[in-house]
Structure 1
Amino acid sequence: MLRRPFILVFLVTTIIAMVSMFSPIIALGEEEIVYYKMPSYQLGKLTSEYDVINVHGLSDRSLPGDPKVPETELSVALPPNVDETSVKVETKVLSSTILPGSFKLAPAPPFVTFIDGRVVLNWGPNQNSIIDGKNINVFAKNAYYPEFPAELSVLSSLRAWRFARIRVNPVQYNPVVGLLRLLNEIEVHTTYTLKEKQISAKSNSYDLIGNIQAASVMHNFNSATSWYSKPLHTSEATPAAPGYAIITTDEILSQSSKLSQFISHKQNRGYNVEIVTESEYGNLVGTAPNETPEKIRKWLQDNYITKQIQYVLLIGNPDPSTGDIPMKMLWPRRGASFYMDYDESPSDYYYADLTGNWDLNGDGYFGDYSSDLGTGGVDFTPEVWVGRIPVYQDIPDWAAHLDSILTKIITYENDQNTEWRKSALLPMSFSNAADVNIGLRETDGAYLAIAMLIDYLNPRGFDSWVMYPQGHGACGVCSRVVPNEELRGGSTVRDRWAQSTFGLVTWWGHGGEVGAYVGYDGCWDTDSFGNSQILHSNDTYSLNDSYPAVVYQNSCSNGTPENENNLGYALLRQGAIGTVSASRVSWYATGEFLPSRSVADNASIGYYFMDGVSNGETLGKSLFESKRQMGFGWQAESWMNLMDFNLYGDPSLSIEYSASAEPFPMPPTATNTPEPTLTPTPTSTPTASPTPKVLNKGTYDDMNAALTYSNAWGYRRANSAFRRGYHQASSNSRAQLSFSFKGSQLGIGVKTSPQGGRLRIYIDGKPIGTLIQNSTATRWQQYAKTPPLKRKTHQVRIIATTAIGKIVNIDYITVY
């Protein structure tokens, strides 16, 4: 599974609280300096001809025809009054190694879609310099590629925060002489100048959600908080859970008999629910052409910070032309130089990225890669996480269909029996056979399933059922990987799904509006009735809606919003609790699948989406955070994939049971303590110091008698790494700690590590935050503070929310 690399800090100022997978970056006036250390790597053979280098935590740079070399990305916060034209990135290589020997790295494949019965292949920006699948401008040049150790990718906004996305290239390859150069240590310098007039950040209304998101995205969050209003923890009152906006119509609100119950359900879970209809947004004036999408987006822009909105659920007709809550018609491939019939993409991303200008050049074509990319334009950084429940009023009993979906969501979230959800169905077809004449590699979808199984499903304890072609279908198409069951066109997937309970479903296959299919042109695998589907909208009536799955549909057009029987919506009605499907054609990389963040291929979006979902993230967060981290290496086609795949379902839903909404996390403060060896010692116990049963002002060791542990805690010793050489730890998902204290604030000391879990903090019965103990490297004596409290005696309950294989711990408690 991919993890982020380790980044150290130039310590030039005091480090304050932060949540991040990276150590913080410190601002040096108008320059940000990052010390980057390359993680571990492995060399191997990709094929008999090509070598491969895998760097822990990095994915491949996948520009078609260019060498496949690992890359990663940093996000560096900038002041709100930064002169965006002045931002530059420079590097200083502190340590490098040239590996002995000569290497031959493979070129990245072209990207492909299947339209109107034929393969459409594209080599992207390198198409005029491709010979034998290689970009001769790189492979024939006696120089290192990439040329620069780090490059400015794009300037972006996250709510009120401005930041730079920086691509880091720790591996360079000279294809002429076959040299691999490893940049072991790099200084990455981001320089900028400021505009004369200070711009007042919108976060001056105190955007807690924005700060929390920035803490997990910006690697210089600590030093940048002074630019963006107040620190993360202040004395002013803040909500204990995110806001949840339901955007619908007055008619739907009046006709649904379950929407009010759904609203109450979300409120009972701790959300601050806002109901928004045309009565609220109808008279607003948005950007031209000021139609319904612009009015809805204007309401969101005006309210997402002040109302602390994190989730948005759209309920209405998604048809971009005639719908009452329409998707926005976007034009990522407008002006494409080849196959121009499919240049549009209906999308809900327009309601998620609220700071970007989706019509930067003002020509009326929104989301056009050729003209809306650039500073101030589309950046795909979501301010809110969006899902929708389609409603087609021309379907008989449309309100009953809506009510059934709402009831299903309520039942799903209230159900504490979640073990069945830790199972996955993975039917994977082929997309094409090899064709050496056009540089087309055989594309077997089985390798998506293999990546999911190895990287996260198996380690997290999921039971999986895989289905691949085995040579008995059309053209003898046969995967080299042995499945649990052979994939055939017709009813094999429907029957397997109907007779089992699967929490997750992901497939690979060509698709249309109402079906996904086994095979490809000339080799469709049909049954005796002439059916070749992986699944058809009509098949959903056979599925058990009491065990609905989260579904990623790696196919074209399954979520076409103009078709009221599209497969994505048909599954949401019966068989699924949430679906992600494409509104138009989508693009894939040929050959054996490897997850990549550089080009936003359709399978990688699904891979990362299901990674988050299987780890307990909400559907909306997992989808939009997966997309946010994608690059635009395929240019317009990358944009099309990012726009195409929309969520039908509740964006706040998770496969894990929780009695309430996810509270805001509390960030540990990074420290630079050396990493010792952890030695379990079950035979000795440190002496507990005498304390009152109510903790007063002071710092208390984890063995203090006033602390009551339950459900399988144990102590461990690690010499001087912990405050007193010990800490309490547990891998039990029901582990709890309870105690009382008298004071105005609470601090908690912990260890963070790659195996770290989460602790949910309740004070006086109310959730006040989640302490995240997961980090890429082991860090000792990390520290988190609660928001300020009224000075009195408080009751504390700390509950583990730990996935299988994760460990939570307590080192010490401080009372203020």
Structure 2
Amino acid sequence: MIKKGAEISVPFLFVISSILSQIFFPTASSADEFRVSYPVSEVSVTRDAKGYARFSGTRIHYRSQGGTPALPYRAVRVLLPPDADLKTVSISAANEQFEDIPGYWEVRPALSPVCQDGERWPSGYADYKDRMLNTGYVPENLMAPASGGKIHQYQILEIPVALFQYHQSSCQLRRLTHITFIITYQADPENPSFPEIGYSDRMTTERIKAQVVNFSDVFHEYPNPANPRSSLEKPGYIIITTRSIASDSIRLSEFVRTKKERGFDVQVITEDAWGGGIGDPGAENIREWLKRNHADLRIHYLLLIGDPDPEKGDVPMKMLWPRSNAAAYPEHKECPSDYYYADLTGNWDMDGDGRYGEWRDDFGPGGVDRNHEIVVGRIPCYGSSADDLDSILKKIIAYQNASDISWRKNVLLPMNPSDEMTPGYH
């Protein structure tokens, strides 16, 4: 058990600096606390052909507001104890360490998301010098808002962290080399987070270990953690389709055999097992079947084969409403998706209004969770003929069994610049 005030140690670098606090979730009145010491590595900066800073590294992304310096972030993932209430988690930072980057640097401004006006793509930001008026290092707060979720029963906190700070008036860069996260939460030992689909097999253990920075300190607190070296079970690969498709396809059995030869435990599941249904009833039956059978079948991969129409399909996508509350979208607020089958722990209609996947209303602790349990793929199959499906399966089998794969390293990316400020490769 993590004790209050304990520090989780990841190898350490030298220390500079101050404590900076930021709360992302409501603070509990009586909270436990632990610390995660995180050294920052595998990120660097060079100059591009025009002399601007070019950042590179593993698992970096950009989230700066339009017109502010486009600096890279990394989402640091922390494993929470099983009894932590996600709604009460708060985070602060301490012991930030920096390395000054020699020289003077120009950092490009971030672009704002914009729509094409029919003639050109507007730049989305005002003049660079007019917008970048801050005289201190930016971003002032290294941490962006965090989010929490689950992979099976394992609770994970994702903390976006800026990897560089930029002093705009002096054109100085400094790289973050270390940060300590102070995480507090309210524990509820009477109601730990062990959902009905919770389990731990070799692949799940390895996945969690690869993603979080404090695996060895917390993982043992979860029930029956699997030993990744002693567990030899094969990952489950489920194909959900219809009786008609399964019987008409002449390549599906060959595809299944190929997958088994590659080390998967493959099963073809038709509506006799998952319940069937056209449109939304079918989508609900698919997800409920996955939740009931996920642990026993060790399902890690799902391939959907059938008509994806969310209203008329026999293996439908789920109709979601991510833009339901967006005033900028008076129409086309709905969006069909298969991600509904990837996340099995979240409540996708948390507000109970019948519109699943609404941004804000259905997101947050207990709601839509971007930490998927299953990797989902689909081959659309329309009408009564399986000829197109068999053609696709034949190509997949040939691709996977090919001996000469050197050509796969040759990529052609045709593109057209959006405008003089926005090259197509961004």
Query: Structure 2: how far apart are the matches of 1:175 and 1:235?
Result: 50
Residue in 2 that maps onto 1:409:
396
What residue is the counterpart of 2:220 in the other structure? 226
What's the % identity of the aligned pairs? 35
Q: CA deviation at 1:353?
A: 1.9
TM-score of the two chains, using structure 2 as the length reference: 0.81
1:223-622 aligned at under 5 Å gives the runs: 223-233=217-227, 238-239=232-233, 241-282=234-275, 291-393=281-383, 398-430=385-417, 432-434=418-420, 441=421, 443-445=422-424, 448=425, 593=426
Name the SS of the counterpart of 2:176 in structure 1. strand
Structure with greater contact order relative to length (CA < 8 Å, sep ≥ 6): 2
Query: Counterpart of 1:372 in 2: which secondary structure?
Result: coil
Q: Is the 8 A contact 1:53 1:69 kept in 2?
A: no
Distance 1:418 1:42, change over 3 A: closer
Task: Check whether the contact 2:283–2:317 (CA below 8 A) recurs between aligned residues.
Answer: yes
Q: 1:80/1:32 Cα in 2 relative to 1: closer, same or farther (>3 Å)? A: same
Q: Give the 3 Å change call, closer, same or farther, for CA 328–417 of structure 1 in structure 2.
A: same
**Matched residue SS, 2:138:** coil
**How far is the alpha carbon of 1:307 from its aligned partner?**
0.9
The code of the aligned residue for 1:444 comes to P
What is the one-letter code of the residue matched to 2:423? D
Equivalent position of 1:189 in the other structure? 182
For 2:313 and 2:56, the matched residues in 1 are separated by 47
1:150·1:188 contact (CA, 8 Å) conserved in 2?
Answer: no
Letter aligned with residue 224 of structure 1: V
Q: 1:259 to 1:65 in 2, by over 3 A?
A: same
**Cα distance change of structure 1 residues 290 and 107 upon mapping to structure 2, 3 Å threshold:** same
Q: CA deviation at 1:249?
A: 1.1
Q: Which amino acid aligns with 2:392?
A: I
Aligned residue for 1:172? Answer: 165
Summarize the Cα distance change of 1:173–1:140 in structure 2 as closer, same or farther, 3 Å threshold: same
Structure with greater strand share of residues = 1
TM-score (normalised: structure 1): 0.44
Deviation digits for residues 53-83 of structure 1 (CA, Å, limit 9, x no counterpart): 6354444444323221122121000122212
Q: CA offsets, 1:391-430, max 9 Å, x none?
A: 1116xxx222222322333333333333343432332233
Structure 2 equivalent of residue 54 of structure 1: 55
1:236–1:46: structure 2 CA closer, same or farther, 3 Å change rule? closer
Equivalent residue number for residue 132 of structure 1: 127
User: What is the distance in 1 between the residues matched to 2:160 and 2:237?
Assistant: 34
The one-letter amino acid paired with 1:414 is N
Alpha-carbon separation, structure 2, partners of 1:276 and 1:122 = 49
User: 1:199 aligns to what SS in structure 2?
Assistant: coil
TM-aligned CA deviation for residue 204 of structure 1? 6.2
Spell out the pairing of 1:88-237 with structure 2 (5 A cutoff): 88-97=90-99, 104-114=106-116, 131-132=126-127, 136=131, 139-176=132-169, 178-199=171-192, 201-202=194-195, 205-233=199-227
Structure 1's 47 and 386: CA in aligned 2 closer, same or farther, altered over 3 A?
same
Per-residue CA deviations over 1:2-29 (Å, capped at 9, x if unaligned) read xxxxx9437xxxxxxxxxxxxxxxxxx8
- SS across alignment from 2:315: coil
Gaps of 5+ in 2: 1-8, 13-31
Change (3 A) 1:135 1:299: farther
Distance change >3 Å, CA 274–CA 345, structure 1 → 2: same
Q: Which residue of 1 aligns with 2:85?
A: 83
Q: Deviations over 1:475-528 (max 9, x none)?
A: xxxxxxxxxxxxxxxxxxxxxxxxxxxxxxxxxxxxxxxxxxxxxxxxxxxxxx
* Alignment partners' CA distance in 2, 1:329 and 1:414: 36
The separation in 2 between residues aligned to 1:79 and 1:371, in whole angstroms, is 26
For 1:191, what is the secondary structure of its paired residue? strand
Alpha-carbon distance in structure 2 between the residues aligned to 1:321 and 1:134: 51
CA–CA separation in structure 1 for the residues paired with 2:151 and 2:220: 16
User: Can you give the 5+ residue segments of structure 1 that lack an aligned partner in the other structure?
Assistant: 1-6, 11-28, 124-129, 435-440, 449-592, 594-816
After TM superposition, the structure 1 = structure 2 runs for residues 30-45 of structure 1, keeping only pairs within 5 Å, are 30-37=33-40, 41-42=44-45, 44=47
Partners of 2:10 and 2:213 within 8 A in 1: no
What is the aligned partner in structure 2 of residue 733 from structure 1? Answer: none
SS in 1 for 2:216: helix
- The CA deviation at 1:206 is 3.6
Q: Shift in Å at residue 102 of structure 1?
A: 6.2
2:213 counterpart letter in structure 1? H
1:696-775 paired onto structure 2 within 5 Å: none
- Label 1:424 to 1:105 Cα distance change in 2 as closer, same or farther (>3 A): closer
Amino acid in structure 2 at the alignment position of 1:67: P
- Number of residue pairs matched? 396
What SS does the corresponding residue of 1:263 show, helix, strand or coil?
Answer: helix
User: How far apart in 2 are the matches of 1:56 and 1:234?
Assistant: 28
Assess, with a 3 A threshold, how the Cα gap between structure 1 residues 53 and 256 changes in structure 2: closer, same or farther: closer
- Partners in 2 of 1:41 and 1:62 — Cα distance? 18
CA deviation digits over 1:681-718, x for unaligned, max 9?
Answer: xxxxxxxxxxxxxxxxxxxxxxxxxxxxxxxxxxxxxx
Contact 2:300 2:375 in 1 (8 A): yes
- Partners in 2 of 1:31 and 1:409 — Cα distance? 47
Report deviation, 1:344: 2.9
Q: Distance in 1 between matches of 2:394 and 2:48?
A: 51
